[in-house]
Amino acid sequence: MPRLYLGIVLHNHQPVGNYGFVFERLYHDAYEPMLGALERHPSVRIGMHNSGPLFDWLAAHRPEYMRRLRALCDRGQVELLTGGYYEPILPMIPDADKTGQIRKMSAFIESAFGQTPTGLWLTERVWEPGLPAPLAGAGVEWTLVDDAHFRMAGMPPEALRGYYLTEDQGQRIGLFAGSQRLRYTIPWLNVEDLIEELRAQATDDIARAPYLVLGDDGEKFGGWPTTYEHVWEDGWIERFFSAIEEQGDWLELITPGAYARRFPPLGLTYLPTASYAEMMEWAMPAAAAAEYHRVYEALTHDGRDDVLAYVRGGFWRYFLARYPEANAMHKRGLRIDAKLARAGSDAARDALWQGQCNCPYWHGVFGGLYLRNIRAVTNANLVRAERLADAAMSTGGVYVGERDYDFDGRAEVLLQTPHISLLAHPHEGGMLSEFDFRARDHAALDVLARRREAYHAALTDGTAGKANDDVTNIHGAVRFKQEGLHDALVFDAHRRAGLQEWLLPAAATPESFARGDAKPWFAPDRAWSSDAGVVEGGVVLRMAVDASAPRIEKRIELPVAGERVTVRYTIDNTGDAPLTGRFVSEWDISAPQAPDGDDRIIRLETDATAIDLAATAGAISGAARFVVRGSAAWGIACEPETPCDVWHFPVNTVSSSEGGLELVAQGTSISLPRLLDLAPGASCDLAFAWSAVRVEPAAYGD
């Protein structure tokens, strides 16, 4: 009789720092119901991978899940997969971190569930040819990639019903090919039709032991939009598991690890760098991704499978080139790794590993990098990791370094005291990309720029649709979750940072500045000269630019002790004509939030008033002092040397999530503008200081 072996591997993950209510909802909608289904169908055997952040939450909040999963493991119904504990993209982190994170996860599984995992869930199926050596060195025997990875190497679909061996530097692992067809049809296809598709894959040649594997997100079974009703209330999973049990004479459900112990490999192979098809499209530049998608859809419509087998998108690491904010987090991690190589610290290492969680380093249909709360926690872990690494190195005082920290080919300047860390980019307008309150683990400039994405075309050409209740693949048509998104589309010409200077027409307003309509004649895109050093009592960085007219100099002062940064500007009219207009010093601020606070709270407070910074653009006049604060019991105060005006506007992006396009808050632009009317040879000064101050805790709606 024809026979087929089927593997199911579910991957459950929530990123470090995700909201507690998200964990709770997905536990109720996806994670717990799947355990119940497995308990009701004891002959169903699957592979499962839960990420470390999810295990940490489950152990703390739902210990009964841990006990029930242990029982399923004990009776051989669930085979657990290891992985990087905090779910990093493995090729992007050093080998020592790869093996360290994998060993941490494997040790946890052995202790909590009594299994020694042999297989690894490869985060986002991002494969690079150098992975076998570190994986094998961490005790991994096999992993799962997409069948598309194999097709890119020229291997036909009929050759993928099993597993292959691959190696690097003589270290080998097994590779299973996850079926894209199963990933697109489960749980969408009618169960009866799905079973018939599987039956068509069965063969009389038992020696070949044909094997198909589904490797996919557990959240799609109840956690994605509309799936709870489809999978659980309408009974899709019950029908599917029952059908598998009824087809036992020709269909055997077996985990990849069990299959590898029972059957030999199909041979040796080498695969190119790849991820799943959607990820490789998302990784491309926006215009290229849109064009790629049009070509792919046209070929699909025309039935050109012969061509599609050789069509592929981009390369995962390009996300780091596409998004300088993601690159900054990644390169800060490498900076910390270098410090930890000189002085070890278990606490610093674990904080660094948490900062390697993959989610804020890329963006696709899921929010990823665009989720402010996830990005904030990642940066907080990186700030803490570096602070602890410096403590382990006993550096103590101040540090000034000048080198290419972000690997863009130009030198940056790093200034650090025990309380403040600044990273200046003289060749990018002299901006600051890092302004950290180190003792508070807060990255004050964690604000994402507003960039054009491929899916924005659905708004501009009118092809997006309102979110609805249809059962559909979230990788399909673009939908939107709210009205008015087209009008909210604004794209920045420069990265959002701090210490960025503009010269605008005198008639410019906060509203025109927010929309990018102010027509600057000096923008933060020029190279500045720089000079930094340690002086008595602290650190000083001087930068200057000669724009023909004017010449601008800025001086940043850090004391050895204290959470304070002082900024001083001198603007000289070096031209032959009067200089009129508006000088603006812009700072993009991420307000401090309490760990359990409501991060919708973003306010500017003075002695006389409190302004909701999440609302609209605006201005206040003659401020002697103001504080930018969130829900935390501290805020970031600005004290001008003389009272000045303050401009503000919310930095919002129109971003994609699994539910559709939505408006997402990224932070707040705070600017100190000054009207200029300088005769030839005249100059003016502007000075202010940022510091951390205590404020009363706030709740949303106060």
Residues 273-306 pLDDT 10s: 999 989 999 999 999 998 999 999 999 999 998 8
Residue type, 525: D
Q: How confident is the model at residue 206 (pLDDT cuts 50, 70, 90)?
A: low
Q: How many CA atoms within 13 Å lie on the side-chain side of 225? A: 20
Q: Which long-range contacts (CB under 8 A, 24 or more apart) does 27-30 make?
A: 27/58, 27/62, 27/65, 29/222, 29/223, 29/228, 29/232, 30/218, 30/219, 30/220, 30/221, 30/222, 30/223, 30/228
For residue 270 the two structure tokens come to 């080498």
- Three-class DSSP category at 615: coil
**Residues 442 and 383: beta-carbon distance below 8 Å:** yes
- % the chain with pLDDT above 70: 96
Q: Is residue 40 helix, strand or coil?
A: helix
Q: Is 111 exposed, middle or buried (0-12, 13-18, 19+ CB in 10 A)?
A: exposed
Q: For position 478, what pLDDT does the model report?
A: 62
Residues of the chain with pLDDT > 90, as a percent, come to: 85
- Give the pLDDT of residue 652: 96
What pLDDT was estimated at residue 308? 86
Report pLDDT for 306.
Answer: 86
pLDDT value, residue 482 = 75
DSSP codes, 52-95: HHHHHHHHHH-HHHHHHHHHHHHTTSEEE-B--TT---GGGS-H
pLDDT of residue 205: 73
Q: What is the rounded distance in angstroms from the CA atom of residue 313 to the CA atom of residue 128?
A: 15
State residue 476's pLDDT score. Answer: 54
Tell me the three state secondary structure of residue 330. Answer: helix
What is the rounded average pLDDT for all residues in the chain?
A: 93
Helix, coil or strand: residue 4 = strand
Contact 87, 112 (CB under 8 A): no
Per-position DSSP letters for 490-555, written without gaps between them: ---SS---BSEEEEE-TT--HHHHHHT-S--SB-TTS--EEEEEEETTEEEEEEEEE-SS-EEEEE
Question: Is residue 88 reached through a cis peptide bond, with omega within 30 degrees of 0 on the bond before it?
Answer: no
Q: Where do the domains of the chain lie? A: 4-275, 482-592+599-694
Q: Average pLDDT in the 10-21 region?
A: 96
| 428 assigned to active site | no
Q: Which residue do the tokens 């600017």 mark? A: 671
Instruction: Give the rounded distance of the alpha carbon of 98 from its chain centre.
Output: 18
Do the domains 482-592+599-694 and 4-275 match in fold?
no
Answer whether residue 373 shows pLDDT above 50. yes
- Rounded distance, CA 188 to CA 182, Å? 10
**Does 124 participate in catalysis according to the annotation?**
yes
d(CA 453, CA 464): 14
Out of 261-275, 363-377, 422-436, least confident range: 363-377
The residue type at 542: R
Rounded CA separation 425/226 (Å): 46
- CATH code that applies to domain 4-275: 3.20.110.20
Q: What is the DSSP letter of 596?
A: T
Q: Give the model's confidence band at 659: pLDDT under 50 very low, under 70 low, under 90 confident, else very high.
A: confident
Q: Among 2.60.120.200, 2.70.98.10, 2.40.160.20, 2.40.50.140, what is the CATH number of 482-592+599-694?
A: 2.70.98.10
Helical packing angle, 236-246 and 191-201, nearest 10°: 40
Contacts of 322 (CB under 8 A, 6+ apart): 283, 285
Q: What is the mean pLDDT of the segment spanning 128-150?
A: 97
Cβ partners under 8 Å of residue 565, min gap 6:
420, 422, 435, 556, 557, 558, 689, 690, 691
Task: State the pLDDT at residue 468.
Answer: 44
pLDDT digits (tens, 9 = 90+) for 319-353: 999 999 999 999 999 999 999 999 889 999 999 99
The first and second tokens of residue 122, run together, are: 């490869």
Alpha carbons 66 and 542: distance in angstroms, whole number: 56
Residue among 498, 10, 446, 80 nearest 258 (CA) = 80
* Three-state secondary structure call for residue 278: helix
Q: What is the CA radius of gyration of the chain?
A: 28
- The helix (H) or strand (E) run that includes residue 24 is helix 20-26
From 217, 252, 402, 546, the catalytic residue: 217
Q: Is the pLDDT of residue 427 over 90?
A: yes
Q: Is the pLDDT of residue 220 over 70?
A: yes
Helix, strand, coil percentages (3-state) for the chain, rounded to 5, are: 35, 30, 35
pLDDT digits (tens, 9 = 90+) for 96-134: 999 999 999 999 999 999 999 999 999 999 999 999 999
Of 390, 442, 446, 393, nearest in space to 416 by CA: 390
The DSSP-derived string for 211-236 is EEEEEEEGGGTTTSTTHIIIIIIS-H
DSSP helix/strand/coil, 601: coil
Say if residue 592 is preceded by a cis peptide, omega within 30 of 0. no
**Which residue is it, tokens 């210490």?**
499
**Which burial class, exposed, middle or buried, applies to 472 when counting CB atoms under 10 A from its CB (0-12, 13-18, 19+)?**
middle
Q: Which of 29, 97, 124, 588 is catalytic?
A: 124
Determine phi and psi for 156, rounding to 5 degrees: -75, 155
- For 594-612, the pLDDT digits (tens) are 988 899 999 999 988 999 9
Residue from 177, 179, 184, 358 nearest 271 by CA: 177
Would you say residue 656 has pLDDT above 70? yes
d(CA 131, CA 98): 9
Average pLDDT over residues 194-220: 90
pLDDT digits (tens, 9 = 90+) for 450-497: 999 999 988 887 665 544 444 445 555 567 777 888 888 999 999 999
